[in-house]
Structure formats: C-alpha cells, structure tokens
Amino acid sequence: MRGKRIMAAGLLLSMSVLSLCACGRQYPVAEDKIYVGVAYYDKSDTFLNEFITCFQKEMEKGETFDGNATVTVRDAGSLQQTQDDQVKELINAGCDVLCVNLVNRTDPSEIINIARENDVPIIFFNREPVAEDMLQWERLYYVGADARQSGVMQGELAAEAIRENPQIDRNRDGKIQYVVLEGEPGHQDSIIRTENAVNTLKNKGIELEKLSCGIANWNRAQAQNRMMQMISRHQNKIELVLANNDDMALGAMDAYQKLNYTEAALPAFFGIDGTDVGLEAVREAKLSGTVYNDKEGQAAAMAQLAVAAVTGKGMEKIRFQDGKYIYLPYYKVTGDNVSDYSEESISTLQ
C-alpha cells in the first residue's frame, strides 16, 4: 500500500516534469528521484530473490545514484500475461525505467510495445530475449552472464575433482556414470550449460556414461522428485550429478538423504550459482563445487545502466557488447576458495 502511494506521488512528479518537456519524453525525470519497476518471473526462484535483494541495496545505497531511488518489485507467478499486466501498471504508476526478467523469454513483444509507446527504457535481465526481439527498439538492454562459460567451468570443476579423487569412479570401470538435472526447457542457461559441461569433461579426457537426464525447472523440490526416480532406476550406479543450478543440486542431495544413503555411497554433486545455500553446501563439502553467478556484479551493472538510461548521464562509461548487452563473468568455487565468497569478502571485492 505504502509503495503504491509513493508510486502515485512519483506519477504526479513525473507528469509535472513531463509537461515541462513538451518536446517529448527523452529524459523526463527530476534529477534527484528515479522510479524503477522490477518485474520477475517467479518468487520461488532462489537465485533471483538474492539478485533482486542485491539490486535494491545497490539502488538504495546512494553510490550508483545520489538522489532518491524507489524500486517496486512485482512477481509474475510464472504467467506471462500477469507480467504484461504488471508492466502496464508499473508504467501507469510512473516508472522511469523497467527491469524485466521475462516469464517467457520468447514473448516480450507486448511489454516492448507498451514501453515504447511510453518511452520507458527496458533492461531485461537473467532470461535473455532472442536477438531479433532485442532489435525491436533502441532503448532495450540486457544484463546477464554467458551461459557457455558457466557450463565449461562446471565441466572443469568436475574433471579436476575426478582426477583428484579416483574414488568418484566407484565401480572402477574407468568411466563416470552421470545424470543431469536441467532447468526450464527453452531457458538459454539450461541446454547450453549441460552441453558445455559434458563436452568439457570429454575434452579433458574423462570417459562418461550418461545414465539419465531430468528436467526440474531450477527447482529444489522437483529435483528431489526427479532424483528419486533416477535412483530407483539406477540404484547406486550414479557417480556424478551435474545440475544446471545449485537448488537442483541440493534437491538431488535431499533425495539421497531421504533414502538414508551413507556418505560413502553418494555421487559427487556440482551446481551453478553460489546461492547462500549453495555456498553453505560447498563449505560443508556436500557440494563438490559450484560456479558463481555474480549477482552482485550483475545487480551493480543493472543499477548503473538503469540510472544512465533514465538520466542520460554515464552511458558512455558502460562497456556494452553489441551496443546493448552486458555480460558479467562467472567464477569457479570449491572448498578451497569458498571463504572468498562470504558476504563480507564479496562486498570488499566489489
């Protein structure tokens, strides 16, 4: 409620500034205030919740923007139609810039049209629209990370672990029997991460035997279910679990725990993200490794871009790829360096 009132005040303010700019709404905001609307696909997503918290802190801490920034967040509950409506509401409430994590990354046209009609720039994040859609309008941007890199790094981590710990090949047949837990089909990170992790392991000379692959939509509970099915089919043959994200790696571990497997009988698990729970599992040596999806870096880049897109200032300092993309690098995390990823260490690294 309170948020709504603030946004309504913002609407009046933007309108009064707007009416002074009869020539159009290029940079219509008062320099000391900006209103940012964030729309994301689903509030059950662990990584995105952490990412959005970082973004809010970033906007509010006053380093990126020394005025007053108001951030309003909407969760679409995995429905594109709901997100389209939320974006309309955010624009009607006077948002100066939108940060959109699409539900369906191939279906941004309605959002782009409304934003263009109102001349409100959009920064898509984490769920990357296809290239043609990004060309629909010049005030569209994307902030994310390179899926291929995360897959390669996961493969490298797994290859190193297998070389260092020959006992991972529990049946000693010289091959690693593995399963994959995949994110949503159609998400740029799912297929690309899997392909690159597996190819990297092969390129590193690790012989692999794929036992199974299950889609668990980034979700811990779904991953637990899928893993229970895989265990019942393959019993203790599974030596390696490659998960497209940490939540699914943790769900796989939950399945083994539920079945009371002893530690010695567990496969090696690898995730991607370095969420709080993911890093905790690395610290406890339950997760052999993860790949850090740099939410702090991405959130800082999105904040900087949001301010530049609204005020028109600072755009020249941003290093884009192809004029509208910002990709932050991933980092490998194992038990050896996980202490660099405590909250304090990350904030001092920035």
Interface residues toward ligand BGC, by CB under 6 A: 45, 47-48, 126-127, 187, 189, 218, 245, 272-273, 293
Residue where the block lists tokens 């624009």: 91
Residue nearest to Ca ion (CB): 169
Partner whose binding site includes residue 290, from ligand BGC, Ca ion, none (CB under 5 to 8 Å by kind): none
Among 14, 8, 68, 75, residue whose Cα is nearest residue 40? 75
Backbone Cα Rg of the chain = 22
Q: How far apart are CA 132 and CA 270, in angstroms?
A: 34
Shortest distance in whole angstroms from residue 158 CB to Ca ion: 14
Residue where the block lists tokens 């994301």: 40
**Which CB atom, from 24 or from 174, has the smaller least distance to Ca ion?**
174
The H or E element containing residue 68 is strand 68-75
Secondary structure (3-state) at 159: helix
Shortest distance in whole angstroms from residue 242 CB to ligand BGC: 13
**Which CB atom, from 245 or from 304, has the smaller least distance to ligand BGC?**
245
User: What amino acid occupies position 229?
Assistant: Q
Shortest distance in whole angstroms from residue 121 CB to ligand BGC: 21
**Which CB atom, from 46 or from 72, has the smaller least distance to ligand BGC?**
46
Partner whose binding site includes residue 171, from ligand BGC, Ca ion, none (CB under 5 to 8 Å by kind): Ca ion
Contact 122, 143 (CB under 8 A): no
Residue nearest to ligand BGC (CB): 218
Interface with Ca ion (CB under 5 A): 169, 171, 173, 175
Partner whose binding site includes residue 169, from Ca ion, ligand BGC, none (CB under 5 to 8 Å by kind): Ca ion
For 91, phi and psi rounded to 5 degrees?
-70, -45
**Which CB atom, from 69 or from 346, has the smaller least distance to ligand BGC?**
346
**Which CB atom, from 7 or from 87, has the smaller least distance to ligand BGC?**
87
**Which CB atom, from 266 or from 308, has the smaller least distance to Ca ion?**
266
User: What amino acid occupies position 180?
Assistant: V
Shortest distance in whole angstroms from residue 24 CB to ligand BGC: 34
Partner whose binding site includes residue 173, from Ca ion, ligand BGC, none (CB under 5 to 8 Å by kind): Ca ion
CB neighbours of 68 closer than 8 A, spacing ≥ 6?
A: 32, 33, 34
Residue where the block lists tokens 């720039």: 121
The H or E element containing residue 181 is strand 176-182
**Which CB atom, from 84 or from 189, has the smaller least distance to ligand BGC?**
189
Shortest distance in whole angstroms from residue 203 CB to ligand BGC: 23
Shortest distance in whole angstroms from residue 6 CB to ligand BGC: 28
CB neighbours of 321 closer than 8 A, spacing ≥ 6?
A: 327
Q: What is the DSSP secondary structure assignment for residue 219, as one 8-state letter?
A: -
Shortest distance in whole angstroms from residue 86 CB to ligand BGC: 17
